Amino acid sequence: MEKEKVSALKERTEAKIDYANLMLDELRRRPPGEGRGDPFERAHEEAVLFHVIGAKDAFLQEINAAYDLGLAPAKITENNLAKALVKKGNNCPALQELMVLKKSESSWLNQAILLRNLGTHRAGPSRTFFVGGEDDDKVFYHNPRDPSRHIGEEDTHVYLEHCIQEMEALILRLRDTFSD
């Protein structure tokens, strides 16, 4: 594939990470006392998750190009890439790792996708708001699979930062696994 197209695909993936960081930075710059859990905060949190998972989806476009699979952009999913790789007799460690992370209910990626899907398709993630004690003024996401537990066991802003960092590191590492 042309070097310019590959470069454009990488730029799009990186832009999604940048957009997630932008949304989180804007959320954190909000003056204290504005309240937690209001529409401004929820919209920004959902936008962070949207862009983090969007970076994964953009990265799938890179895999399609790197392995010259020829799938139409609208047809690119983990499963379609895997099928196309099998047809070509090829293996993509990056795709395999993404698929394992996506399927593992305890992985950060699976949980981030779950929260993104809740916000996008159903209702916003439920939360626990702490008042007093060691977690005073913190907000944790409930685990939709077990509402008695929290996802990440950390404040939502810290959790979102963690997701951004994990996705960025994962993509940078997985790019190095592409066969030339």
Residue 180 placed within a domain: no
The verdict on residue 150 lying in a domain is: no
Question: Does residue 55 lie within any of the structural domains?
Answer: yes
Specify the pLDDT at position 36.
77
Give the burial class of 50: count Cβ atoms within 10 A of its Cβ; 0-12 exposed, 13-18 middle, 19 or more buried: middle
Domain of 39 in residue numbering reads as: 3-122+157-175
pLDDT for the residue numbered 33: 63
With respect to residue 146, please indicate whether it lies within any of the assigned structural domains.
Answer: no
For residue 19, the model assigns a pLDDT of 98
Question: For residue 131, is it within any domain?
Answer: no
**CA pair distance 176, 178, nearest whole angstrom:** 6
| Nearest residue to 58 (alpha-carbon basis) of 80, 77, 79, 84 | 77
| Number of other residues whose CB lies within 10 A of the CB of residue 128 | 12
Q: What is the pLDDT of residues 35-48, one digit of tens each?
A: 678 889 889 999 99
Residue numbers of the chain with a pLDDT score lower than 70: 1-2, 32-35, 119-121, 179-180
Would residue 26 count as lying in a domain?
yes
Token couple for 141: 């996401």
Asked if the structure places residue 118 within a domain, the reply is yes
Determine the pLDDT at residue 97: 95
From residue 105, give the alpha-carbon distance in Å to each of 53, 95, 101, 113, 120.
Answer: 16, 17, 8, 10, 19
Number of structural domains in the chain:
1
> What is the pLDDT, as a whole number, of residue 125?
78
> In this structure, is residue 96 part of a structural domain?
yes
